[in-house]
């Protein structure tokens, strides 16, 4: 069972890996026309849907971005299914994801559909034995037929209503949460800590994923906290190498320069080499920094009325953008000051003893 879950996580991560470029491209195409409109003093593009002229053009471009965001479930489900059972499963996965969107079963529905499609193909491959002369029919006819059939029956007929009820309830709950003050703060703290915890690992990606799922439901606020927290760890170590030069070896000072860029465009992974020096102490510090930064951003009242863009420059997509920047700086300064106090980064990681022994390492044959 444990093996199944770790495999399932791998498939989900593969799907997310394929979805990343889609969602980043699409959300930028949604945001840029809106930003241009905002600079021209236009608050919303919706009134220009039926008109002509410059703002109508912006509206049309913006709608293309939304089409991309509408594909999120489809692409996710398709590539999760592909990860499980290769080519024959991908079509059924796409269909399942699209059905999840149209029946409002959402992200949850897409994931279930993807696993149904993938594992149906896998099961058929193992259990259906055809005479050799008919083998060619397996990948082209039999496998796609069964996979799509199972998706159609389960997702289209049986689970459509209950899943859509669960998803709608979940979305309403989160909507309410992003409107009330106290739960908003909790949300910021939790998301901020998650983002800064494993920097690009599964916890970070689940928080990021949650933000993007909500984006497709037109809930933007959580993404403000996520984007803010993403910039914090790399920025923090970049600042730290400047203010506490004596605590960093030369190779870390170099890595610090790269982290200015990582922080600017919003890539948490930049902080990994620093954190690995003493993960047991630095991960909690990173998490506090991320949570603190997101919370300050929340308390100062940063609000998103359009889909927020990540990175430092993302503040232009947020009303009270300064709150976003102040929060980010507070979180980053916390880590930048505390981290070199508890850990000495002068160690030469090149020759350092490895912390894991051979017995601690899990390997598995395929």
Partner 1 sequence: MKVVGVSACPAGLAHTPMAAKALEKAGKKIGFDVKMEQQGSMGQINKITKEEAQAADFVLIASDQKIQEMDRFEGKPIIRVNITTCIKAPEAVLKKCAKAVKEKK
CB 136 to partner 1: min, Å:
18
Number of other CB atoms surrounding residue 311 within 10 Å: 15
Under the criterion CB under 8 A, does residue 356 sit at the interface with partner 1? yes
CB 273 to partner 1: min, Å:
8
CA distance 155 to 163: 9
258: buried, middle or exposed (CB in 10 Å: 19+, 13-18, 0-12)?
middle
CA distances from 84 to 22, 23, 89, 119, 193 (A): 21, 22, 8, 7, 31
Q: Which of 26, 39, 30, 23 is nearest to 58 (CA)?
A: 30
Question: With the CA atoms of 32, 34, 36 and 41 taken in that order, what torsion angle do they form, in degrees rounded to the nearest 10?
Answer: -170
When the beta carbons of 217 and 269 are compared against partner 1, the nearer one is 269
Candidates 37-45, 87-95, 269-277, 336-344 — which segment interacts with partner 1 by CB under 8 A?
Answer: 269-277
- The residue within the footprint of partner 1, chosen from 270, 289, 307, 308 (CB under 8 A), is 270
Is 248 strand, coil or helix? strand
CA distances from 136 to 38, 92, 93, 130, 147 (A): 57, 19, 22, 10, 17
Angle at CA of residue 24, ends 20 and 26, nearest 5°: 115
Under the criterion CB under 8 A, does residue 246 sit at the interface with partner 1? no
CB 323 to partner 1: min, Å:
27
- The residue within the footprint of partner 1, chosen from 43, 179, 251, 355 (CB under 8 A), is 355
When the beta carbons of 174 and 262 are compared against partner 1, the nearer one is 262
CB 353 to partner 1: min, Å:
10
CA distance 325 to 314: 9
Under the criterion CB under 8 A, does residue 76 sit at the interface with partner 1? no
When the beta carbons of 70 and 273 are compared against partner 1, the nearer one is 273
Under the criterion CB under 8 A, does residue 182 sit at the interface with partner 1? no
Candidates 66-74, 130-138, 169-177, 199-207 — which segment interacts with partner 1 by CB under 8 A?
Answer: 199-207
State the greatest distance between any 2 C-alpha atoms of the chain, in Å, as a whole number: 73
Under the criterion CB under 8 A, does residue 10 sit at the interface with partner 1? yes
- The residue within the footprint of partner 1, chosen from 59, 82, 248, 334 (CB under 8 A), is 82
Under the criterion CB under 8 A, does residue 269 sit at the interface with partner 1? yes
| Residue ranges in contact with partner 1 by CB under 8 A | 6-7, 9-11, 13-14, 16-17, 20-21, 82-83, 200-201, 205, 267, 269-270, 272-273, 276, 354-358, 360-366
């Amino acid at each position: 069972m444990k093996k199944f879950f770790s495999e399932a996580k791998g498939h989900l991560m593969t799907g997310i890996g394929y979805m990343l470029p889609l969602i980043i491209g699409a959300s930028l195409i949604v945001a840029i026309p809106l930003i241009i409109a905002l600079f021209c003093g236009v608050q919303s593009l919706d009134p220009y849907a039926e008109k002509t002229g410059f703002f109508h053009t912006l509206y049309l471009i913006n709608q293309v971005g939304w089409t991309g965001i509408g594909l999120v479930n489809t692409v996710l489900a398709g590539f999760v299914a592909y990860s499980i059972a290769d080519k024959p499963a991908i079509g059924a996965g796409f269909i399942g994801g699209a059905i999840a969107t149209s029946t409002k079963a959402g992200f949850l529905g897409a994931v279930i559909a993807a696993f149904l499609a993938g594992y149906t193909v896998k099961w058929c491959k193992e259990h259906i034995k055809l005479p050799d002369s008919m083998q060619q029919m397996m990948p082209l006819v039999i496998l796609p037929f069964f996979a799509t059939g199972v998706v159609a029956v389960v997702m289209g007929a049986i689970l459509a209503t209950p899943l859509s009820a669960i998803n709608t309830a979940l979305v309403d709950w989160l909507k309410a949460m992003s409107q009330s003050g106290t739960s908003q703060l909790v949300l910021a703290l939790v998301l901020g800590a998650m983002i800064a915890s494993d920097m690009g690992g599964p916890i970070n990606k689940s928080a990021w994923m949650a933000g993007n799922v909500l984006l497709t439901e037109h809930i933007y606020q959580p993404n403000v906290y996520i984007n803010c927290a993403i910039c914090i760890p790399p920025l923090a170590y970049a600042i730290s190498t400047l203010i506490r030069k004596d605590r960093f070896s030369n190779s870390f000072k170099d890595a610090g320069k790269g982290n200015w860029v990582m922080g600017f465009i919003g890539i948490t992974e930049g902080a990994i080499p620093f954190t690995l020096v003493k993960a047991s102490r630095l991960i909690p510090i990173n998490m506090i920094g991320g949570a603190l930064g997101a919370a300050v951003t929340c308390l100062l009242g940063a609000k998103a009325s359009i889909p927020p863009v990540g990175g430092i420059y993302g503040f232009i997509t947020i009303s009270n953008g300064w709150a976003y920047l102040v929060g980010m700086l507070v979180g980053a300064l916390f880590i930048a000051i505390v981290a070199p106090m508890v850990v000495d980064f002068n160690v030469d990681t090149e020759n350092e003893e490895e912390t894991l022994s051979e017995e601690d390492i899990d390997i598995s044959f395929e």
